[in-house]
């Protein structure tokens, strides 16, 4: 093996090992603003590159990625130990999906359907893509640094070692003509330089804020709140903290700082001073936000109670109609009485219109009922006339059936005439 290739690979191994040992969650015993996604992606990437090293028989790449798998697994275990329920469930689902389902399907597909160089090419390109995603993970940290103007979650040593690791592995891949390793580390080098530049810019701003805060502002007590601390002592501590920091004055500048920097009522200089001293406590800020939210609700409730009591005090002892009709009242031009009289006239007109509408609807209903009755009687008469006409036609038909040579007709007519004469004589 070329000694330069071995030297760059050994250097990359050493620096990558130091990068793997960078997180400090166990030391602080809190995940704070750290996310588990970079650890899961790094574990998947290390597993993938270990598989790639097995296919290409690369001992240096195999050794560092085996260490990376172990270390990232330990860090994920520590994260799951100290994380809350929601991030813990999300992390477990992500690990199962990426490192079991996704890697298992990739391993099965390449072992069953690919051979030789084709298998190496597919695994190499997939490894390069996920190496790109690992190098893109600092974008969230860069965004947080720009938003808060603080480099707390972006240590300089970590950015430096990431940059050196990218340079070493780029040289290793370039000398070996293995561009699957070389290309992703170009992006890693660019992001490392960007992080160090941001660190240099915002570190100067933090030093400037710290000096101005030390000259103008008192010290702010922001101790870590223990879980077993009582609510009463916590409330006293919050009151003392806000009194020392100047309180929440409600001006536009403080509200803007509250919205953008999360200090909730603390002036920007005090907030930056507390963060630069390493005593920044997100849990205490969350408790402060709850205290101010509850205080705002209490103020609204008290204001509504006062308004209701004021309205109840303004209610007169007797009603306005009694007051208007009373003979004891001499001032008939009282605005309340005049207003009541106007409303009374409007109500009378309204009631008269309503009664006229009801009367009209009543007459309409009666007319509709009479019309229906007339239609029913006319229908009954038509049915009776139809029945009589049917009987007459039936009798005539029977008469025509019994007629023969015209003789029964004369007999029938004579009989009909005699029946009519007998009926008239009987009457």
305-350, pLDDT tens digit by residue?
Answer: 888 877 766 545 445 555 555 544 444 555 666 666 667 767 777 7
Over residues 47-76, the pLDDT tens digits come to 888 888 888 887 777 877 787 787 778 778
Overall pTM > 0.75: no
Domain ranges in the chain are 3-216, 231-313, 335-426
Separation between Cα atoms, residue 247 and residue 295, nearest integer Å: 13
Query: What does residue 333 show for φ and ψ, rounded to 5 degrees?
Result: -95, 20
CA–CA distances in Å: residue 273 to residues 28, 215, 216, 394: 20, 11, 11, 118
pLDDT of 200 above 70? yes
- Share the mean pLDDT of the chain: 69
Residue % of the chain over a pLDDT of 70? 57
Average pLDDT (239-245) is 46
**10 Å Cβ neighbour count for 132?**
15
CA–CA distances in Å: residue 380 to residues 102, 331, 370: 86, 72, 15
């Amino acid at each position: 093996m070329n000694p330069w290739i071995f030297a760059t690979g050994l250097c990359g191994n050493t620096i990558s090992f130091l990068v793997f040992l960078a997180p400090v969650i166990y030391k602080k015993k809190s995940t704070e603003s750290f996310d588990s996604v970079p650890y899961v992606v790094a574990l998947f990437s290390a597993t993938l590159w270990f598989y790639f090293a097995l296919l290409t028989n690369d001992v240096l790449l195999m050794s560092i990625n085996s260490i990376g798998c172990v270390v990232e697994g330990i860090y994920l275990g520590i994260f799951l130990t100290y994380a809350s329920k929601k991030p813990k469930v999300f992390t477990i689902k992500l690990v199962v999906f990426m490192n079991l389902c996704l890697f298992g399907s990739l391993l099965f597909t390449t072992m069953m359907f690919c051979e030789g160089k084709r298998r190496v090419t597919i695994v190499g390109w997939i490894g390069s893509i996920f190496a790109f995603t690992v190098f893109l993970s600092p974008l969230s940290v860069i965004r947080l640094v720009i938003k808060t103007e603080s480099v707390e979650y972006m240590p300089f040593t970590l950015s430096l070692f990431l940059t050196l690791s990218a340079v070493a592995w780029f040289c290793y891949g370039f000398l070996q003509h293995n561009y699957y390793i070389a290309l992703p580390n170009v992006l890693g080098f660019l992001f490392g330089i960007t992080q160090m530049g941001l660190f240099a810019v915002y570190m100067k701003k933090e030093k400037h804020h710290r000096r101005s805060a030390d000259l103008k502002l008192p010290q702010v007590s922001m101790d870590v709140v223990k879980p077993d601390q009582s609510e009463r002592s916590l409330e006293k501590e919050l009151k003392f903290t806000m009194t020392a920091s100047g309180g929440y004055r409600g001006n536009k500048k403080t509200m803007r700082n509250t919205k953008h920097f999360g200090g909730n009522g603390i002036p920007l200089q005090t907030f930056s001073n507390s963060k630069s001293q390493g005593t920044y406590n997100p849990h205490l800020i969350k408790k402060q936000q709850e205290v101010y939210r509850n205080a705002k609700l209490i103020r609204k409730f008290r204001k509504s109670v006062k308004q209701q009591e004021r309205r109840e005090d303004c209610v007169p002892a007797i009603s306005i109609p009694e007051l208007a009709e009373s003979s004891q009242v001499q001032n008939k031009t009282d605005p309340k009485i005049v207003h009541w009289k106007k409303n009374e006239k409007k109500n009378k007109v309204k009631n008269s219109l309503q009664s006229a509408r009801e009367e009209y609807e009543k007459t309409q209903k009666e007319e509709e009922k009479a019309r229906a009755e007339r239609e029913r009687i006319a229908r009954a008469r038509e049915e009776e006339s139809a029945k009589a006409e049917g009987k007459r036609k039936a009798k005539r038909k029977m008469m025509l059936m019994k007629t023969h040579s015209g003789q029964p007709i004369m007999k029938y007519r004579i009989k009909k005439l005699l029946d009519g004469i007998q009926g008239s004589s009987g009457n």
